[in-house]
Amino acid sequence: MFEYAPAPESRSVVDIKPSYGLFIDGAFVDPADGGSFKSVNPASEEVLAEIAEGGSQDVDRAVRAARKAYEKVWGRMPGRDRAKYLFRIARLIQERSRELAVLESLDNGKPIKESRDVDIPLVAAHFFYYAGWADKLGHAGFGPDPKPLGVAAQVIPWNFPLLMLAWKIAPALAAGNTVVLKPAETTPLTALLFAEICQQADLPAGVVNIVTGAGETGRTLVEHPGVDKVAFTGSTDVGRAIARAVAGSRKKLTLELGGKAANIVFDDAPVDQAVEGIVNGIFFNQGHVCCAGSRLLVQESVADQVLESLKRRMAQLRVGDPLDKNTDIGAINSAAQLARIRELTEAGAAEGAQRWSPPCELPERGFWFAPTIFTGVTQAHRIAREEIFGPVLSVLTFRTPAEAVEKANNTPYGLSAGIWTEKGSRILWMADRLRAGVVWANTFNKFDPTSPFGGYKESGYGREGGRHGLEAYLNV
């Protein structure tokens, strides 16, 4: 077999500063109490930068800046002028895409081919898409002249740092709101580069504020009385705590939480195509995907064939340096996440499921986990019920479409699902019965700014993306 030669992307395209302040009212400022934390490259454990930790005074300052910008500038600006800023930001993201992609891969651990070909293009597309809406809000189906809400507090996770920022900031700004966003503590760097892009675009001061910090900073932000809207993406536990904190206030809330999606393969599906979809469904972004196809439901009559092909395909996956353009699976985002994946996979083996990984050499430094599948999984196993958020697939079988629906829906989550079959009628029959916000047919993990995304049940409420995504930021 021919080996791939190393094809590393140069990290010199991005200039990482030794330390970063908070981005408040159009400028980088020191935190009031001077606290800080480190952002680490998960592939090497190298410290990338020292990041300011926002405390309650900083959050207050950011919310006030956002309020002032809302009342004096942004909330009064005609939509066509807001659109110009959003188009400008979108173009700057495209211009600086290589820099953003390298920084995202360094801070998050995701392969450069994903940050370069998926994350960053989708980020730009989101800003372009919502820029187009800014002067057409009266045609979005929410009345002739819908009004913004005011100041939005936005808290995002670490798995798609810049993409989750775009999902939050683009519709909020298009609708006329101003924002205070808190990126995740392990991946703050691209949000801070985005703040520089806001400066470069001459966005009026205070329209976008970035307050870095951990859970406590997030909690202070969502609980701040000066906030009109809270948008959160992250774990179901934190989502619950936020829903409790916001209950009884006038704040509007959207929650995008966890998932445990079923990827369902019928006996008439083209096996090679389905296997590509299974691999993409669970190994894309190291499985750190809320809508990952983490439960494979395969029809019993083709289970052996599908598993044999899947194992052959998995043996081809290259795990390693995220900056290498040939890498398929990068680093696990943090030591804490690696520990959680290990704990759940050990529980899977202890509960009697059979574990398999292809032979693969993992780098010595950094946080790594080999792509893994479990067969002989039953509905009762923790690995079939709990979100692992890593490159781990639980395989279950079914005999009839009704059994597939029952097993797929047997979860507290309801974010996404996949169906693989040649029959259009079966796709529609299944999609009608699956309790999932997104159902992909003969594909998986496809995203588009025009298409709404969101969950049922414990996967949260509200939709992001598309015309529907505007509703969360309008007084309707």
Residues tagged active-site: 256, 290
Please list every residue from 85 through 144 that binds ligand NAD, using CB under 6 A.
none
Under the binding rule (CB under 6 A), the answer on residue 335 touching ligand NAD is no
User: Using CA atoms, how far apart are residues 355 and 185, in angstroms rounded to an integer?
Assistant: 32
Distances (CA, A) of 418 to 25, 274, 436: 43, 10, 10
Closer to ligand NAD by CB, 9 or 256: give it: 256
Helix (H, G, I), strand (E, B) or coil at 252: strand
Give all strands (DSSP E) within 41-131, no chain letters: 47-52
Q: Which residue has the tokens 């050499």?
A: 361
Contact window for ligand NAD (CB under 6 A) among 21-29, 233-241, 274-282, 372-380: 233-241
Q: Which of 104, 387, 458, 471 binds ligand NAD (CB under 6 A)?
A: 387
> What residues have CB less than 8 Å from 83, skipping those under 6 apart?
131, 132, 134, 135, 174
User: Using CA atoms, how far apart are residues 245 and 231, in angstroms rounded to an integer?
Assistant: 13
Contact window for ligand NAD (CB under 6 A) among 229-237, 305-313, 342-350, 374-382: 229-237
Q: Which of 31, 42, 150, 234 binds ligand NAD (CB under 6 A)?
A: 234
Closer to ligand NAD by CB, 269 or 290: give it: 290
Q: Which residue's CB comes closest to ligand NAD?
A: 218
Query: Of 26, 35, 56, 30, which is closest to residue 224 (Cα–Cα)?
Result: 56
Contact window for ligand NAD (CB under 6 A) among 36-44, 79-87, 105-113, 215-223: 215-223
Please list every residue from 242 through 281 that binds ligand NAD, using CB under 6 A.
242, 256-259
Q: Which of 90, 222, 231, 404 binds ligand NAD (CB under 6 A)?
A: 222
Contact status, residue 261 vs residue 412, Cβ threshold 8 Å: no
Please list every residue from 416 through 435 that binds ligand NAD, using CB under 6 A.
none
User: Using CA atoms, how far apart are residues 67 and 61, in angstroms rounded to an integer?
Assistant: 10
Closer to ligand NAD by CB, 163 or 310: give it: 163
Contact status, residue 25 vs residue 1, Cβ threshold 8 Å: no
- Please state the closest distance from residue 78 (CB atom) to ligand NAD, in A: 31
Q: Which of 29, 32, 241, 431 binds ligand NAD (CB under 6 A)?
A: 241
> What residues have CB less than 8 Å from 123, skipping those under 6 apart?
93, 100, 162, 163, 165, 166
Q: Which of 53, 104, 185, 321 binds ligand NAD (CB under 6 A)?
A: 185
Please list every residue from 150 through 179 that binds ligand NAD, using CB under 6 A.
155-159
- The 3 state secondary structure assigned to 122-143 is HHHHHHHHHHHHCCCHHHCCCC
Residues that bind ligand NAD (CB under 6 A): 155-159, 182, 184-185, 214-215, 218-219, 222, 233-235, 238, 241-242, 256-259, 290, 387, 389, 415, 455, 460
